[in-house]
A = this chain, B = another copy of it.
Amino acid sequence: VVQGAFATLPEEPPIPEDNAMTPEKVELGKMLYFDPRLSSSGVISCHTCHNLSLGGTDRLPSSLGHEFLTGGRNAPTVLNAAFFNLQFWDGRATGLEEQAQGPIQAGVEMAMPADMAVNRIASIEGYLPYFEAAFPDEETPITFENIAKAIATFERTLITPNDALDRYLRGDEEALSDDAKRGMEIVVQVGCIACHNGPMLSTGTLMPFRHGEDLGLATVTGEESDEFMFRVATWRNVSLTAPYFHDGSAETLEDAIRIMGSVQLNRDLTEDEVYYIVAFLESLEGEVPEITIPDLPAD
């Protein structure tokens, strides 16, 4: 079986120099990730749309946020998102710190302006000691930037190692079923791995995907050259994150694979090919870290 394009997921994601990983920051970030008081309504947290019981997604075609509004995009998983440099379906943000500031403020997500978010969190007295512990050298540790830094740090713990592919790549020949091994060969032969390769089974870069009306990165930049540019999606845990594509338009993995074959490779995959590719993609469910519910300060 071919292996060249494949690589195991590292146990730790890259960590930016200006946001060192500490247990205190992870703890605070987890609290904020689960705290609905970061939204203007008080009921929506990161966990609402990136539910860690549901593969880090909401399993809806497109997310329902503040007042049940939708931005029209599907919620990608936060699992392993730390391995991506470009964030969002269209890669419009860089790094988790920048990314986390988006949904808090977005009108269709948490609808909470930055200064209101800071005021709300600062008004919950019980948070102060946690910010002081996470950002020990700072005089005013409760800032919007630090909220984002802490959440990003927690997200860097959401790594799912040891899926069947990785165990196979480390030498356990039995880890992958025969069907999955066949699927692995097919994705090489038909060319999926041009885009889906490496530890994330994604180059992490933008590629054209003409499907539906969403213009991808051009929605933000207005540049013609950015039209329909989307970041290659990861295959890690992909069987947990239906429905598929930036607009949630493919209900099943079978549908998504068929569409990829036809749109990206101009190739009608056979039923058999689709079957084996599914078997391979299903072998990419890693070990999701066990998470205890944080105890949030009452006020």
Contacts and interface: CB of A to CB of B under 8 A. Distances in A.
A52 B60 CA distance: 24
A239 interface: yes
Interface string A260-299: 0000000000000000000000000000101111111011
A50 to B, nearest CB: 12
Given A68-B68, A240-B298, A53 B35 contact: yes
Contacts of A42: 58-60, 64
Contacts of A64: 41-43
Contacts of A291: 292-293
Contacts of A58: 36, 42-43
Query: Chain A binding site: helix, strand, loop or mixed by DSSP?
Result: loop
A37 interface: yes
B59 A37 contact: yes
Contacts of A298: 54-55, 59, 239-240, 242
9 contacts: A41-B68, A42-B58, A42-B59, A42-B60, A43-B58, A52-B293, A240-B298, A288-B295, A290-B293
